[in-house]
Amino acid sequence: MSSPIFVAIDTPDLARAVALAEKVKAHVGGLKLGLEFFSAHGHHGVREMGQVGLPIFLDLKLHDIPNTVASAIQALHGLEPSILTIHAAGGRAMMEDAKAAAPETTRVVGVTVLTSLDGDDLSSIGVQGGEHAQVERLTGLAREAGLDGVVCSGFEVAAARKMWRDGFFVVPGVRPAGGAIGDQKRVMTPRQALDNGASILVIGRPITRAEDPDAAARAIAATL
């Protein structure tokens, strides 16, 4: 099986992004391209990164009225990413339309609760019961809407997988033991996240900002 590590390459510098991907490609399973990258380079950038030969995870976290999200996904025509994110909080109709608009080969996954948020943050925007309850609520909704899986932190993935045995679970906010957590609030090690039920792990800065990104990717892969 290929590595469950998708490296997050969120730089607006296309040459640097390609160079990074080439450096680490032997020790990761795919490339995650986020909003910063897509805003800078659009379709052209995604195609360039596709030349590296790894699956592309397009992390756009789309969240709008159903018709707009479906149209935005149709506007990605020709890119056919392996994975595409939308916000599960957009509701069932939005998720259904997003899945219907996506290519058959693309896994559409719903973001539940961002790993930069905790219970206090959720409470401040009117979501009661804490992050665990919200992840479970949105996981159930994503499953009913026909999505392929969800994005959640390593702390909720075991409960989400218990609800959805054959779901696809993307876990971001993963840091090697002793690594800086940056702007994330809920993080765990790659090994813990896999043990808890993650299908793939999204790892960015611990690899991309390392002195030797290839060695960093190799070291993390060795713990798995």
Is 70 exceeded by the pLDDT of residue 144?
yes
Is 90 exceeded by the pLDDT of residue 2?
no
* Percent of the chain scoring above 90 in pLDDT: 85
Mean local confidence (pLDDT), 52-72: 98
Domain boundaries, the chain: 5-222
Compare 101 and 118 and report the one with higher pLDDT: 101
Mean local confidence (pLDDT), 188-192: 91
Q: What is the pLDDT of residue 174?
A: 86
Question: CB-based burial of residue 183 (10 Å sphere; 0-12 exposed, 13-18 middle, 19+ buried)?
Answer: exposed
Mean local confidence (pLDDT), 78-89: 97
Q: What is the pLDDT of residue 1?
A: 56
Clarify whether 32 is annotated catalytic: no
Q: What is the pLDDT of residue 19?
A: 96
Is 90 exceeded by the pLDDT of residue 116?
no
Mean local confidence (pLDDT), 155-176: 94
Quickly tell me which residue has 């993935």 as its tokens.
157
Query: DSSP secondary structure string, 108-130?
Result: EEEE-S-TT--HHHHHHTT--SH
CATH hierarchy code of domain 5-222: 3.20.20.70
Residue from 23, 25, 32, 61 carrying the catalytic annotation: 61
Within 10 Å of residue 93's Cβ, how many Cβ atoms?
14
Spatial CB neighbours of 193, under 8 Å, sequence gap ≥ 6: 154, 157, 171, 174, 201
